[in-house]
Structure 1
Amino acid sequence: MSRISTMGAGREPASAVWRDTPERYGRVSRAFHWLMAALFAWQFAGALLYVGLGDTAVTRFVGGSHFTLGATLFALVLLRGAWGLANLSRRPPHRGRLGRAAVAGHAVIYALMIVVPGLALLRQYGSGKPFTPYGLPLMPGRDSKIDWLVAPGDLLHHWLAFLLLAILAGHVAMALLHRALWKDDVLARMTRG
């Protein structure tokens, strides 16, 4: 019995919808991408409001989830990275100079998505303050502070986060340029699948 007759005419196997293919990203990759885009937008909105307005009721509302959301994004980037590695040979290819630049840009984005919250978690642990996102006791409190764990986060977290924001803005701009200028709708790979 042929593959088409067992699945029905025109239907793809279920794994082909969920996993990446050379033509498009699957549902899992797209879900990770857009969920994380929305969470990063909220995270950066809170940070930008705080920089622009200072400590107000609005900034406390938007930024009040900053620690918990950062830990969530850290977990999601690790899961997304594992999923991406598992699908690496099936993903849409990046060809030519622009393709190599896209690969390099994605590598920098992934590195910053790990380093930025990693520094914040290191700083949190070094501070001695408890950390219980979603009520889960990830880091117990203690009386002493470990300065050498706090220092890298104090020095770099803020600046690397805004570098990540700038690179993400460039990522969005390049997707729009591909569509408007070069008429090769790479965005469709991550939207329609």
Structure 2
Amino acid sequence: MPRRNGYSALQITLHWLIAVLIAAAWFTHEGMGRALEKRIETGASGIEGNTAHVWIGGAVFALILLHLIVRLIQGAPGPVPGSSPMIAAAALWGHRLLYLLMVVTPALGATAWYGGVEPAGEVHELFGFTLILVSLGHAVMALWHQNVWKDGTMTRMTKPQA
């Protein structure tokens, strides 16, 4: 994967769009059990019974896959110059965890919703909560970098670079 100084306009757009959609998915969830029960009661198929949460989750899944492909092609910047090895490792593994949760959480939701696999729905709820917590930690660290360490980290995700 090539190294860059910052992110492209497409990468930045995908990042913020996915962030907004994850927040929207969190605020539109009803709990997988209740949503599945409603769908079964009405006799709706998986697609007919789709809720806003299901559509948003599908969009997150599609966009995160696109984001990963774009990242493989365009690359990403390395650690902020001057970062300690511990901070660089924390950033690397924090991002890996975010990507894993952003792929697995909607995949589990789809498995539960369309496949009727209730245990997948329970894990989806747990992973969704974990995704929100890790995302909040990511946001807090971005603000910390910007306002305390003043190292320009957030600028890489707000101003496109070639």
Task: Give the TM-score range, shorter chain.
Answer: 0.7 to 0.9
Alignment of 1:18-167 (within 5 A): 22-47=4-29, 50=30, 64-88=51-75, 91-94=76-79, 95=83, 96-127=85-116, 150-167=117-134
Residue type at the aligned position of 1:67: V
In the TM superposition, what is the alpha-carbon distance from 1:64 to its structure 2 partner?
4.0
In the TM superposition, what is the alpha-carbon distance from 1:191 to its structure 2 partner?
0.4
Distance 1:79 1:100 in 2: 25
In the TM superposition, what is the alpha-carbon distance from 1:125 to its structure 2 partner?
2.7
Distance 1:82 1:33 in 2: 13
Distance 2:122 2:17 in 1: 29
Q: CA RMSD in A?
A: 2.2
- Aligned length, in residue pairs: 139
In the TM superposition, what is the alpha-carbon distance from 1:154 to its structure 2 partner?
2.6
TM-score normalized by structure 1?
A: 0.66
Deviations 1:92-144 (A, max 9, x none): 111522111111011001101111110111112322xxxxxxxxxxxxxxxxx
1:186 aligns with 2:133: no
Distance 2:141 2:9 in 1: 22
* 8 A Cα contact 2:113 2:121, kept in partner: no
Q: Give identity over the alignment, percent.
A: 32
TM-score normalized by structure 2?
A: 0.78
- Change in CA separation of 1:115 and 1:87 when aligned onto 2, cut-off 3 Å: same
Which stretches in structure 2 are left out of the alignment for 5+ residues? 36-49
* 8 A Cα contact 1:119 1:152, kept in partner: no
* 8 A Cα contact 2:145 2:152, kept in partner: yes
Higher relative contact order (CA 8 A, sep 6+): 2
Residue type at the aligned position of 1:103: L
SS of the residue corresponding to residue 89 of structure 2 reads helix
* 8 A Cα contact 2:7 2:156, kept in partner: yes
Which stretches in structure 1 are left out of the alignment for 5+ residues? 1-19, 56-62, 128-149
